[in-house]
Amino acid sequence: MGGLLCYPGILRRLEGSTCILSTEVDSCKITPHYCKIQDFDESWYQQFHIIVCGLDSVVARRWINSVLVSLLQYTDGELDQSSVIPLIDGGTEGFKGSARVVLPGMTACIECTLDLFPPQITFPMCTIAHTPRLPEHCIEYVKVLLWPKDNPFGGDECAIDGDDPQHISWIYEQSLKRAAEFNITGVTYRLTQGVIKHIIPAVASTNAVIAAACATECLKVATQVAHHMNNYCVFNDADGIYTYTYEHEKKSTCLVCSQVPQELSMAPTDSLQNLIDKLKDSPQYQVSVTAYTDNISVKKIELKAKIKKSNLGLSDGVQLAVADVTSPNSIIFNLRLSLPMDVSSPLS
């Protein structure tokens, strides 16, 4: 059993838990790793029979999901089920939680249900710059505008580290000054850290229920003592207790598990920036677009030069390969250029 963690404090707690578990259960071996999940290649993940996740972001979930799908093997178009590594995923958000069992290539994957995840909360730039009303607006102002302007810790545009107390303290102090200018109360160190790191308060009871659900599903998948969950469970104990299990169906147009290029419709007059914005803003795609190229091998610098021009410079039917942090592999799109319908013109 391996544990992947990114924060030293959590690592220390896990090392303590590892010591206790090893003492109580002689056959239990846990190896903690202090790193990002992306630091290991596909061959490392291939050694496991089951992967259980309690990740803290949608990006991380999409990445591990893509890795497991990429490990699938096919013979004459038929899935080799011995290459399937079950993914058991659990997550909580305050009093709400969910657990799911994913059999890559067989059941709905994480990407199939991407539109279920709520969009990240953002604030309009005009609000945080001119008319802040909430303590969060003041913190965002310091984070987005004041930090890059003042560069308080020197260096080449030092990035904000949410785990660095000095960074959080500076943002907190500046946020207090900003809040005082607009008579806004409620800025605290804890809130500042929460806004910077997008922290959602953890509830022990919710965590316990979801952890138990994941452990139970892991036992069922490993021993076949009972049929595993089919395939998604929601839990809510905000007002009483409510739980429900239902089956998510595979999405025929899934970016990851459908194994077919996606159709991407654009107007001939759209710019490359329009295309990138569509990929970023669409609930279906939610990609960050860290690199872009096409099957004509256009140089990257040429694409950058065209990014704001009023036409893509690409032909209908061309395939675009999009690299994204949510996937270890490029996402392939078939570009379809079509003129928008003129609703003002009369029908013939």
Instruction: Provide the percentage of residues in the chain whose pLDDT is more than 70.
Output: 82
The fold of 262-337 is 3.10.290
Q: Cα angle at 21 between 30 and 208, to 5 degrees? A: 95
pLDDT for residue 331 is more than 70: yes
Average pLDDT, rounded, for the chain: 82
Q: CA nearest 86: which of 100, 102, 75, 74? A: 102
φ, ψ of residue 43 in degrees (nearest 5) = -65, -30
Q: Which residues contact 181 (CB under 8 A, 6 or more apart)?
A: none
Q: CA nearest 1: which of 38, 35, 41, 52? A: 52
The alpha carbons of the chain give a radius of gyration, in whole angstroms, of 24
- Segment among 31-35, 39-43, 65-69 with least mean pLDDT: 31-35
Q: Which tokens in the block code for residue 139? A: 């913190």
Question: Hey, which residues are catalytic here?
Answer: 126
- The residue assigned the tokens 């890059």 is 148
- Quick one: pLDDT at residue 347? 47
φ, ψ of residue 249 in degrees (nearest 5) = -95, 150
Q: Is the pTM of this model over 0.75?
A: no
Q: Which tokens in the block code for residue 271? A: 């710019």
pLDDT for residue 168 is more than 90: yes
Chain segment 140-159, per-residue pLDDT in tens = 999 999 998 888 887 667 78
Q: Which residue has the higher pLDDT, 87 or 22?
A: 87
Half-sphere exposure of 323 (CA within 13 A, CB side): 7
Chain segment 189-228, per-residue pLDDT in tens = 999 998 988 877 788 999 999 999 999 999 999 999 999 9
Q: Tell me the C-alpha distance between 154 and 165, whole Å.
A: 16
* Bond before 207 cis per omega within 30 degrees: no
- Note the CATH number of domain 36-116+202-246: 3.40.50.720
3-state secondary structure of 63: helix
Taking the alpha carbons at both ends of the chain, their separation in whole angstroms is 68
Half-sphere exposure of 18 (CA within 13 A, CB side): 14
Asked if 59 and 23 count as a contact pair (C-beta separation under 8 A), the reply is no
- Quick one: pLDDT at residue 313? 64
Domain boundaries, the chain: 36-116+202-246, 125-197, 262-337
CATH architecture of the domain with range 125-197: Orthogonal Bundle (1.10)
Q: Tell me the C-alpha distance between 230 and 187, whole Å.
A: 44
- Secondary structure (DSSP) of 71-118: T--EETTEE-GGG---EEEEEEETTEEEEEEE-TTTS--TGGGGGGSP
3-state secondary structure of 30: coil
Tell me the pLDDT band of 298, cut-offs 50, 70 and 90.
Answer: very low
Q: What share of the chain is helix, strand, coil (3-state, %, to 5)?
A: 35, 15, 45
